[in-house]
């Protein structure tokens, strides 16, 4: 199907968020170039892949829950279309999630989570330890109870990245393995990006999707996104070992969170175990303590993994925001759009982020749930837009229109 030619879009960052937005923009007729010195190899590469708006819910973060629920509802269609475009499975796994508790304090915390979700009309099924083991025989005897959340699926992050790269290529997206140093603008509108090698690239719109590195690219984002380190392990089942769980298993072990996400496609390992959380700048070393803690707690919940092979350890930098909501929307000068700060929820929020960016490029209203993620909530720090402009796509309309063919 022919599409109307739009303007030039430069995307800083080729993780899942940047690639998904680039694909959507190219399908809408934009000429898209994505810049990243290591495409698909940042935080997206080491993600656990949980799509867990319900089991990540927390009192006081209702806006994040609403955004996550919107996005998880988009995942089946998003994955199906992406798989068809790429000619390969995008990795969506819909078996659901169980949450396990070991000690009394852990059970009390899960009870509080269940009560909170029920107050929001999001009931979950409460289970005894025995009932959990009927669902997932790999769960060990130290688990005393938990929850079943069938609506929280998962995705094989590396399959997803492969599919996004292929779909982007087929949609005409150029992927440039150079790094963006900063966004170029005159204080009123953007003109493109300056690369780390000094090259200046012209663009009508710049999308900052550079994860933990986003704050350095423009003053409008300065201090709004920070790196949060997370370590993960990949395990592979050896001959004779107990089968891995079918569902994602999240757990609290003496107050410490741990998860195990199955990989159901050949060649992608059997379990991803994660994840530590620490704030140490841009350090990505895997630590002995991190590996020890993850294996200790995961083995308490899934004792059979003691016979698995440890095939990979890795660390990535989640892009954390001040309030745990991502920044998705216009900010700073005309033509600058942010899609960053997704924290632990990057994989979950891929579809709604791509939809929001597409709406902004079309000067249309963004999804209702995405309004809370507008960077304008930090107006004391960033360029101010009115609420009407932010929700309708009004701010920056003239600049966006300037990049379009007159026949559009």
Q: What is the pLDDT of residues 158-167, one digit of tens each?
A: 999 999 999 9
Contact assessment for residue 320 and residue 190, using Cβ atoms and an 8 Å cutoff = no
Burial zone of 287 (CB within 10 Å; 0-12 exposed, 13-18 middle, 19+ buried)? middle
Per-residue pLDDT of 325-373, as tens digits, reads 999 999 999 999 999 999 999 999 999 999 999 999 999 999 999 999 9
Distance CA 244, CA 257 (A): 19
Q: Residue 25: which of 8, 37, 12 has the closest Cα?
A: 8
Which pLDDT band, with edges at 50, 70 and 90, does 395 fall under? very low
The CATH number assigned to the domain holding 195 equals 3.50.50.60
Q: How confident is the model at residue 405 (pLDDT cuts 50, 70, 90)?
A: very low
**179 and 214: one domain?**
yes
Of 153, 132, 143, 142, nearest to 48 (Cα)? 153
User: Do 378 and 232 reside in the same domain of the chain?
Assistant: no
Residues 142 and 269 in one domain: yes
Residue 408, domain member (yes or no): no
Judged by average pLDDT, the poorest of 114-123, 147-156, 399-408 is 399-408
Host domain of residue 297: 97-150+227-320
Q: Are residues 140 and 237 in the same domain?
A: yes
Of 381 and 13, more confident: 13
In a domain, 88, yes or no: no
Of 298, 320, 342, the residue at which a domain comes to its end is 320
- Helix H or strand E encompassing 19: helix 16-27
- Report the domain count for the chain: 2
Q: What is the pTM of this model?
A: 0.92
Looking at residue 283, its pLDDT comes to 97
pLDDT in tens, 37-55: 999 999 999 999 999 999 9
Note whether 37 and 166 are same-domain residues.
yes
Q: Which of 135-149, 182-196, 267-281, 386-400 has the least mean pLDDT?
A: 386-400
Read off the pLDDT band of 267 (50, 70, 90).
low
Q: For 303-337, write each residue's pLDDT tens digit.
A: 999 999 999 999 999 999 999 999 999 999 999 99
């Amino acid at each position: 199907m022919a599409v109307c030619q739009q303007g030039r879009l430069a995307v800083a960052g080729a993780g899942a968020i940047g690639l998904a937005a680039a694909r959507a923009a190219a399908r809408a007729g934009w000429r898209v170039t994505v810049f990243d010195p290591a495409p698909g190899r940042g935080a997206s590469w080491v993600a656990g892949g949980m799509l867990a708006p319900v089991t990540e819910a927390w009192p006081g973060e209702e806006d994040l829950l609403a955004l996550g629920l919107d996005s998880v509802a988009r995942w089946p269609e998003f994955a199906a279309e992406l798989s068809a475009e790429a000619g390969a499975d995008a990795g969506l796994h819909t078996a659901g999630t169980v949450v396990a508790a070991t000690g009394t304090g852990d059970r009390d915390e899960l009870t509080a989570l269940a009560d909170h979700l029920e107050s929001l009309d999001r009931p979950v099924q409460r289970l005894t330890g025995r009932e959990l083991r009927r669902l997932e025989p790999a769960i060990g005897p130290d688990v005393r109870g938990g929850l079943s959340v069938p609506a929280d699926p998962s995705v094989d992050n590396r399959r997803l990245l492969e599919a996004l790269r292929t779909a982007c290529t087929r949609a005409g997206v150029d992927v440039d393995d150079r790094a963006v140093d900063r966004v170029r603008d005159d204080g009123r509108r953007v003109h493109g990006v300056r690369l780390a090698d000094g090259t200046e690239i012209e663009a009508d719109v710049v999308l900052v999707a550079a994860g933990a590195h986003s704050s350095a690219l423009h003053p409008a984002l300065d201090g709004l996104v920070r790196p949060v380190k997370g370590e993960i392990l990949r395990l592979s089942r050896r001959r004779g070992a107990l089968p891995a769980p079918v569902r994602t298993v999240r757990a609290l072990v003496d107050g410490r969170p741990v998860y195990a996400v199955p990989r159901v496609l050949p060649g992608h390992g059997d379990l991803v175990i994660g994840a530590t959380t620490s704030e140490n700048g841009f350090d990505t070393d895997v630590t002995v303590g991190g590996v020890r803690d993850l294996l200790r707690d995961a083995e308490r919940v899934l004792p059979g993994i003691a016979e698995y092979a440890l095939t990979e350890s890795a660390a990535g930098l989640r892009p954390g925001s001040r309030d745990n909501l991502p920044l998705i929307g216009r900010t700073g000068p005309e033509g600058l759009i942010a899609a960053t700060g997704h924290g632990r929820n990057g994989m979950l929020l891929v579809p709604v982020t791509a939809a929001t960016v597409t709406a902004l490029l079309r000067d249309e209203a963004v999804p209702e749930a995405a309004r809370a993620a507008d960077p304008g909530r930090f107006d004391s720090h960033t360029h101010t837009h009115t609420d009407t402009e932010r929700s309708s796509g009004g701010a920056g309309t003239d600049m966006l229109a300037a990049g379009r063919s007159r026949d559009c």
